[in-house]
Protein backbone atom coordinates (compact mmCIF):
# COMPACT_ATOMS: atom_id res chain seq x y z
CA UNK A 1 0.00 0.00 0.00
CA UNK A 2 0.93 3.66 0.06
CA UNK A 3 3.52 5.03 2.49
CA UNK A 4 2.51 7.54 5.16
CA UNK A 5 4.50 10.18 3.32
CA UNK A 6 2.60 9.65 0.07
CA UNK A 7 -0.73 9.72 1.88
CA UNK A 8 0.29 12.95 3.61
CA UNK A 9 1.19 14.60 0.28
CA UNK A 10 -2.04 13.35 -1.28
CA UNK A 11 -4.17 14.70 1.57
CA UNK A 12 -2.20 17.94 2.00
CA UNK A 13 -0.65 18.64 -1.39
CA UNK A 14 2.10 21.26 -1.40
CA UNK A 15 2.25 23.90 -4.14
CA UNK A 16 -0.99 22.82 -5.78
CA UNK A 17 -2.86 25.09 -8.17
CA UNK A 18 -2.48 27.15 -11.28
CA UNK A 19 0.26 29.78 -11.60
CA UNK A 20 -0.29 33.18 -13.18
CA UNK A 21 2.24 33.98 -15.91
CA UNK A 22 4.61 31.04 -15.44
CA UNK A 23 8.00 31.10 -17.17
CA UNK A 24 7.58 27.47 -18.22
CA UNK A 25 4.75 24.94 -18.41
CA UNK A 26 5.09 21.19 -18.60
CA UNK A 27 2.05 19.21 -19.65
CA UNK A 28 2.32 15.47 -19.58
CA UNK A 29 -0.25 12.75 -20.08
CA UNK A 30 0.18 9.22 -18.85
CA UNK A 31 -0.46 6.86 -21.75
CA UNK A 32 -1.10 3.97 -19.35
CA UNK A 33 -4.13 5.50 -17.63
CA UNK A 34 -4.88 8.81 -19.36
CA UNK A 35 -4.13 10.98 -16.31
CA UNK A 36 -2.72 14.46 -16.94
CA UNK A 37 -0.37 16.74 -15.04
CA UNK A 38 0.48 20.41 -15.53
CA UNK A 39 3.59 21.78 -13.86
CA UNK A 40 4.31 25.52 -13.76
CA UNK A 41 7.66 27.13 -12.93
CA UNK A 42 8.97 30.62 -12.28
CA UNK A 43 12.68 31.13 -12.79
CA UNK A 44 14.94 33.62 -11.08
CA UNK A 45 18.75 33.66 -11.34
CA UNK A 46 18.63 30.33 -13.19
CA UNK A 47 16.87 28.71 -10.21
CA UNK A 48 13.33 27.45 -9.72
CA UNK A 49 11.95 30.30 -7.66
CA UNK A 50 8.37 29.04 -7.58
CA UNK A 51 6.63 25.89 -8.74
CA UNK A 52 3.03 24.69 -8.81
CA UNK A 53 1.16 21.73 -10.17
CA UNK A 54 -2.30 20.67 -11.24
CA UNK A 55 -2.73 16.93 -11.52
CA UNK A 56 -5.85 15.22 -12.75
CA UNK A 57 -4.97 11.75 -11.63
CA UNK A 58 -4.69 9.13 -8.94
CA UNK A 59 -3.37 9.44 -5.39
CA UNK A 60 0.11 8.33 -6.47
CA UNK A 61 0.21 10.92 -9.25
CA UNK A 62 -0.92 13.72 -6.92
CA UNK A 63 1.43 12.64 -4.12
CA UNK A 64 4.46 12.42 -6.40
CA UNK A 65 3.55 15.77 -8.02
CA UNK A 66 3.47 17.40 -4.61
CA UNK A 67 6.79 15.83 -3.58
CA UNK A 68 8.60 16.84 -6.76
CA UNK A 69 7.63 20.49 -6.26
CA UNK A 70 9.37 20.39 -2.87
CA UNK A 71 12.39 18.61 -4.37
CA UNK A 72 12.75 21.07 -7.27
CA UNK A 73 12.09 24.39 -5.53
CA UNK A 74 15.29 26.39 -5.10
CA UNK A 75 17.32 24.12 -7.37
CA UNK A 76 19.16 25.33 -10.46
CA UNK A 77 17.67 24.16 -13.75
CA UNK A 78 20.49 21.68 -14.29
CA UNK A 79 20.07 20.26 -10.78
CA UNK A 80 16.31 19.96 -11.28
CA UNK A 81 16.82 18.15 -14.58
CA UNK A 82 18.74 15.46 -12.71
CA UNK A 83 15.70 14.49 -10.62
CA UNK A 84 14.66 11.06 -11.86
CA UNK A 85 11.46 9.13 -11.40
CA UNK A 86 13.41 6.84 -9.05
CA UNK A 87 14.34 9.85 -6.91
CA UNK A 88 10.65 10.74 -6.74
CA UNK A 89 9.62 7.20 -5.82
CA UNK A 90 12.32 7.08 -3.14
CA UNK A 91 11.22 10.46 -1.79
CA UNK A 92 7.66 9.21 -1.22
CA UNK A 93 8.94 6.07 0.48
CA UNK A 94 8.27 3.76 -2.46
CA UNK A 95 5.16 2.94 -4.51
CA UNK A 96 3.27 -0.31 -4.99
CA UNK A 97 4.54 -2.00 -8.20
CA UNK A 98 1.22 -1.45 -9.98
CA UNK A 99 1.50 2.31 -9.34
CA UNK A 100 5.11 2.76 -10.50
CA UNK A 101 3.98 4.21 -13.83
CA UNK A 102 2.33 7.08 -11.93
CA UNK A 103 5.71 8.46 -10.86
CA UNK A 104 6.67 9.06 -14.50
CA UNK A 105 4.29 12.01 -14.76
CA UNK A 106 6.00 14.16 -12.16
CA UNK A 107 9.56 13.70 -13.44
CA UNK A 108 8.51 14.14 -17.08
CA UNK A 109 6.39 17.23 -16.36
CA UNK A 110 9.27 18.92 -14.54
CA UNK A 111 11.58 18.22 -17.48
CA UNK A 112 8.95 19.48 -19.94
CA UNK A 113 8.47 22.72 -17.97
CA UNK A 114 12.22 23.40 -17.97
CA UNK A 115 12.45 22.65 -21.69
CA UNK A 116 9.49 24.98 -22.32
CA UNK A 117 11.22 27.75 -20.36
CA UNK A 118 14.49 27.26 -22.23
CA UNK A 119 12.70 27.23 -25.58
CA UNK A 120 10.87 30.48 -24.79
CA UNK A 121 14.00 32.11 -23.46
CA UNK A 122 16.04 30.95 -26.42
CA UNK A 123 13.55 32.42 -28.84
CA UNK A 124 13.84 35.84 -27.14
CA UNK A 125 11.25 38.49 -27.82
CA UNK A 126 11.66 38.54 -31.57
CA UNK A 127 8.44 37.95 -33.33
CA UNK A 128 8.48 36.37 -36.76
CA UNK A 129 8.36 39.13 -39.34
CA UNK A 130 5.41 39.19 -41.68
CA UNK A 131 6.43 40.22 -45.12
FE1 LIG B 1 -2.86 7.37 -13.71
FE2 LIG B 1 -1.68 6.85 -11.48
S3 LIG B 1 -3.32 5.76 -12.35
S4 LIG B 1 -1.11 8.35 -12.93
For residue 129, the model assigns a pLDDT of 46
Q: Does residue 35 have its Cβ closer than 6 Å to ligand 1?
A: yes
SS3 (DSSP) at 63: helix
Whole-prediction pTM value? 0.90
Atom of ligand 1 nearest to the CA of 61: 4
pLDDT at site 15: 98
Find the catalytic residue in 7, 16, 25, 33: 33
In the chain, the domains with their CATH numbers are: 4-119 (3.90.1010.10)
pLDDT of 127? 46
- Consecutive 10-residue runs of the chain (131 residues): their mean pLDDT? 95 97 96 92 97 96 97 98 96 93 92 97 58 45
The residue whose C-alpha atom lies closest to atom 2 belonging to ligand 1 is 102
* Gap between the terminal Cα atoms of the chain: 61
Given this model, what pLDDT does residue 123 score?
A: 64
Annotation marks residue 58 as catalytic: no
The reported pLDDT for the residue numbered 43 is: 98
The CA-atom distances, in angstroms, between 131 and each of 78, 125, 127, 128 are 39, 18, 12, 9
Q: Say if residue 38 is exposed, middle or buried (CB neighbours under 10 Å; 0-12, 13-18, 19+).
A: buried
68 lines ligand 1 (CB under 6 A): no
Amino acid sequence: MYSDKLIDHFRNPRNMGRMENPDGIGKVGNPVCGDVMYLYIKIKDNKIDDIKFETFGCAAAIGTSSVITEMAKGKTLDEALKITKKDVVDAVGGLPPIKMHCSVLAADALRAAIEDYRKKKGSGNDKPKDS
